[in-house]
Structure 1
Amino acid sequence: MDKLYLVCYNEEENRQREVIIRMKSQTLQLFPHEEDGKCWIAEITGEDEVYRLKRDFLPEESTHVWEIFDGWYQINGRAAGVSPFVKEYVKVKDGRMLRHLNFAYMIQQLEEIKAMEPERMVRMRKQIYAVLDEIKKEAPYEAVEEGMERQKEECDMCDEPEQLSAALRTIKKRKNNMIKELQEKFENMKLEW
């Protein structure tokens, strides 16, 4: 006889499980448009007083490569095998992209977009932690490990999405330089001993 297992989760645990499931990213490589010579991806995060849609420009993972998750985006650039994105609004859900969304449709979706903010903040924290862990791995010194753990604690206390977004952009841009600087600093300290 088959056994039946009943697993109960409270609402918060269930939401956290759903966030982890949706944390799977896709990468998108874009090339600049011939007309304007630019390529970029901005996540639509809410309402803006001037432009009506608030955009959070994402940092590149590497040259012309972006990491995107489930969410709402505006994309500008050319990708291999598909028609160009010309400041195009898209929705990504379960790794699939729905393209050619118009501005009026995006305005109608603002409540759903705003409702994703807690999930987005969890995702950004996890992205920051991953970069901090990479730094610890590449500069395996006790002081670096302690510093990265302090940064994680500060990240946990941050409740402003704009601050998390800015921190994520900064740490992604500075990661390689930070690793190099930390390695050099601690190697020089060893030589001085």
Structure 2
Amino acid sequence: MRSLRGQTSQNVFLIVVVLTLFLAACSSDSSPSSENMSSSNTSEESISGSVSVSGSSTVEPISTRVKETYNDTVSGDVEITVNGPGTSAGFREFCPGNTDINDASRTIKDKEKESCVPYVELKVAFDGIAVMVNPDNPLECISKDDLYAIAGPESEGNTWEDAQALASSLGSTTTGWPSGTIDVIAPGTES
């Protein structure tokens, strides 16, 4: 069991890392001049600009909380927008440079890397998946292939028979599937 103290330290570290990224993205001068350096040593400068964050809907709450903490902590005129259309949709905006930060719940694909701006990957959290089944459903144990057939991108998602046919074609040997229609509630294809 993890201690609360360790979890708090991780949260503080996460906030510091993301705030550093926000500050870096807000900087308008890529090369510090001696004038800028001397003035920053003698007085607190107000920062301004904008930072756009897009991507994974499961990471969006973390970015929203960091935005709130930043706005509550740092003075200045920085507009931070956070949007969670999904990881793939976020990469489509991030890679050509339309957003500053992409929240992702998966690793960037090779095809996405080919046309992407230079980036730094920071792992801030891990996704979890919970599979819940109606207690009246007789299906007790399924394989990854079965789950993919029920809720994956190739799933028809209409009947248990359709799912079982796809699962069998993927190598599943699960038997005893229920019959009738199937209702799947899962993230959309952009997530």
Greater share of residues in strand: 1
TM-score normalised according to structure 2 size? 0.24
TM-score normalised according to structure 1 size? 0.24
**Bigger CA radius of gyration:** 2
